[in-house]
Amino acid sequence: MQKTQCLIIGAGPAGLSAAIYTARAGMDTVVAGCEPKIAGDYDIDNYFGFPETISGRELIERGLRQAQRFGARIVCQRVLAVHMDADGAFEVKTDQDTFAAQAVVIAAGVARVRPGIANLAAYEGKGVSYCVSCDGFFFRGRTVAVVGEGNYAANQALELTNFTSAITIYTQGKEPAMGEVFTGKLAEVGIAVSTAKVDRLTGEAALTGLVLADGGEAPAEGLFVAMGQASALDFAKTLGVLAKGAFIEADSEQKTNVPGVFAAGDCVGHFMQISVAVGEGAKAGRAAIAHVKERAGKADG
């Protein structure tokens, strides 16, 4: 396990801005994230200080170089899960590594891939969940399904083995995209991966079964949604961070209700502009610095 003082999830404007502040303050900083959606070949004309047009890709590349100049480590790794330890520190698991951090800045955007299940919303809270850490306990010994095609789904399924052994992953018709390590772990514990598509859910008071697109049926008392990559909201739910709809709640200093967890950028649902994300990232970085110093002071005392 690697150790760092501040782990930033997301390498977009908010995440890189936070990294510039924390790294410049001498704090060991890791930014986990691959090419953000802004890093495309489209024109940006309204960013302060650039009278000439600049592409999203070039702006992000400049931000990366600046953060790295101050010592931030940028790793192209997908964060799969974040858990809080008993002492208030954090364990961040990626598709390649595990980090121990004193503070976490969530700047991962709001994208969530929907699984295309017709009556999914009707069963939310009645068998359908988006967070194994939150709800896995309620499905002890029961038959459960995970919908998703990648490492995020595989990791959620493996976490479920703490509660049940009757687990199947459905990729919703997509080709499985789990890495070799995760594929091996799934096989080792006997978790089946099916490319079938779950079309709709059945059950009176709560979920009891799945109806597949090919007309087949399968039993399931729980269904965990883990399509695509983990989103900011997924991390928030796992940590107990308050959210309103699809957005994380953060105060004027980008602090969430969980000490040591900060949020900035599109995931907090404010005016979704690069300039706003950069400003929020700076505030999140400053708040993270203060939090880590406070923890260090208590440890020394």
pLDDT, one tens digit for every residue, the chain (301 residues):
899 999 999 999 999 999 999 999 999 999 999 877 666 677 888 888 989 998 888 999 999 999 999 999 999 999 999 999 999 999 999 999 999 999 999 998 766 678 899 999 899 889 999 888 888 999 999 999 999 999 999 999 999 999 999 999 999 999 999 999 999 999 999 999 999 999 999 999 999 999 999 999 999 999 999 888 888 888 898 899 999 887 899 999 999 999 999 999 989 988 888 999 999 999 999 999 999 999 888 776 6
Asked if 179 and 187 touch (Cβ cutoff 8 Å), the reply is no
- Written as six digits, the tokens of 286 are 């400053």
Candidates 53, 108, 54, 121; CA nearest to 81 is 108
Q: How many CA atoms lie within 13 A of 217 on its CB side?
A: 8
The answer on 157 and 220 residing in a single domain is yes
> Do 136 and 73 belong to one domain?
no
Instruction: Provide the 8-state DSSP code for 161.
Output: T
What is the C-alpha to C-alpha distance for residues 143 and 218, in angstroms, rounded to an integer?
10
Q: How many helices (H) and strands (E) does the chain have?
A: 7, 19
Domains: count for the chain: 2
Question: What is the bridge-based pairing of β-strands 209-212 and 198-202?
Answer: antiparallel
Do 236 and 201 have their domain in common? no
Report pTM. 0.83
CA 216, CA 245: separation in Å to the nearest integer?
A: 34
Residue 274: domain span: 2-111+231-300
* Same domain, residue pair 249 and 280: yes
Question: Are 181 and 239 in a shared domain?
Answer: no
